[in-house]
Amino acid sequence: MAIAAAVLVAAPLTVGTPAQAAPEGLTATEVTFTGNGGVTLHGTVLAPTGGDARKPAIVLLEGAGSRGRGYLRAEAEAYARHGIVTLTYDKRSTGYSLMHRDYSVLADDALAGLRLLRARPDVDLRKTGLWGLSEGAFVAPIAANRSTDVTFVITVGAVGTTPAEETAWAYGQYLRHAGVRGPLPRLMQTSVVRATIDLGLFAEAGFDPVPHWERVRQPVLLQWGELDRDAVPSLSSRLIGGALDRGGNPHHTVRVVAGTNHVLHRTEDDGFDRLPLLPAGYGDFEAAWIADPAVEAPGVALPAEAAIVDSAPRGWWDTTWARLVTAALLLGALVAGVVRHRAWLPAGLAAATVAGTLAYLFFLLAVAGKVAGPIVLGQPLAWLTLQLLAVATVAAAAWRRRPIEGALFAVWAVQWLTAC
């Protein structure tokens, strides 16, 4: 979620979270349950102690990546303190990775977790729902459409566009916030995102959540942080709200939480940081809404946002395959130049530029554009260095009278170092 994440971030392997002692007034129970395809999933149920009355229950669905159930521990404790039995669990590693994920499979896992909660004697079967963060909000409506066990849905930072569109938008947000100017943000938003899709590196890139939301009939609480820099929040709220309206579901509430970021946490950097700090009163409104979905949501309006950049190729020369052909021709010409004419200088400079460019772009993918490095003259220092290397390569090719290599490299440089 993205994604935002970001959806392109290489997710770490799921590591089972060690059992943690329950805070005072809560119980913590380590559980296992069987998800889609017989995969065993491990989780923790936090529940309030005392009282004989049955309680609402909720399953928390993580965003993109596999950080383990501890990532949502603060949210789980907040819900449990509000009298809600809460399950967090380690996302599957089987069938979930950077290059493969299936939201339908994750929806089955979520429903398996909900069945575990519904089997508890302290759970009110009329109030059992799903809470989805970012990518988890892609999963929640699919699960809700499959089972009446889901009696309500809560989302945080839900995305109404495709993951590819959301990711491209977020790249622009984070790079420009870092002070990057010029073609690099647009290059990341267009050519780089398109290349990851074409090369099979962007799982579920074209997933459209709108048809799934159109079929949801349960009450829905849609929440965004006022300073969400990942989910295209204003557009997403319109798309998801419109989908629910078209489907005939009047029971949906939009809530914007002032001063919070994509994950509804406090922020000290205008929404661009990831502080593990919940805002004061976290869970107050959510608990009130679970008890009565007609309760009116306080909040602020979402600010207007920049439009999503069109990532469609501008012509055949702007496609991933044209870039690959240019790279192959360049490689052949450089090898031939070294073998026949000992043109080591242009070949070495070209190799360094190509390798450095691809490495830096992959780095930006891995960090979802959130870390660009030192900025000089509105450019990341690494990117500025690569541009200077490109100029040096063309000059070296001209000096060694290698016009073919120079021309091919110039074409490659225009394709990869600009957004033209």
Same domain, 32 and 83: yes
Is residue 157 included in any domain, yes or no?
A: yes
Is residue 286 included in any domain, yes or no?
A: yes
- Residue ranges making up the domain that contains 133: 26-162+207-291
Is residue 398 included in any domain, yes or no?
A: yes
Is residue 309 included in any domain, yes or no?
A: no
- In angstroms, how far is the first alpha carbon of the chain from the final one? 27
Is residue 387 included in any domain, yes or no?
A: yes
Is the predicted pLDDT of residue 157 greater than 50, yes or no? yes
Same domain, 286 and 229: yes
- Choose the final residue of a domain: 291, 307, 336: 291
Q: CA nearest 82: which of 282, 254, 274? A: 282
Same domain, 279 and 326: no
- Choose the final residue of a domain: 291, 308, 340: 291
User: How many helices, marked H, and strands, marked E, lie in the chain?
Assistant: 13, 10
- Choose the final residue of a domain: 291, 325, 357: 291
Q: Count of alpha carbons within 13 Å of 348, Cβ hemisphere only?
A: 6
**Contact between 67 and 12 (Cβ < 8 Å):** yes
Same domain, 213 and 350: no
Is the predicted pLDDT of residue 307 greater than 50, yes or no? yes
pTM: 0.90
> H-type helices in 292-420, by residue range?
320-341, 344-366, 381-399, 403-417
pLDDT tens sequence across 172-202? 999 999 999 989 999 999 999 999 999 988 9
Position 1 confidence tier, pLDDT thresholds 50, 70, 90? very low
Residue 167 CB partners (closer than 8 Å, separation 6+)? 2, 3, 4, 5, 6, 7, 8, 193, 202, 368
Is the predicted pLDDT of residue 17 greater than 70, yes or no? no
Is the predicted pLDDT of residue 236 greater than 90, yes or no? yes
Diameter of the chain measured on Cα atoms: 87
User: What domain count does the chain have?
Assistant: 2
Position 303 confidence tier, pLDDT thresholds 50, 70, 90? confident
Same domain, 286 and 211: yes
Same domain, 282 and 321: no
Same domain, 320 and 399: yes
Is residue 273 included in any domain, yes or no?
A: yes
Same domain, 222 and 360: no
Other beta carbons within 10 angstroms of residue 362's beta carbon come to 15
Is residue 353 included in any domain, yes or no?
A: yes
* pLDDT at residue number 407: 92
Same domain, 213 and 95: yes
Q: Tell me the CATH number at 85.
A: 3.40.50.1820
Q: Tokens 């225009």: give the residue.
A: 414
Q: Is 45 exposed, middle or buried (0-12, 13-18, 19+ CB in 10 A)?
A: buried
Same domain, 346 and 257: no
Same domain, 136 and 240: yes
**Contact between 67 and 15 (Cβ < 8 Å):** no
Same domain, 243 and 327: no
pLDDT tens sequence across 372-381? 999 999 999 9
Give dist(CA 362, CA 416) in Å, integer.
13
Is residue 58 included in any domain, yes or no?
A: yes
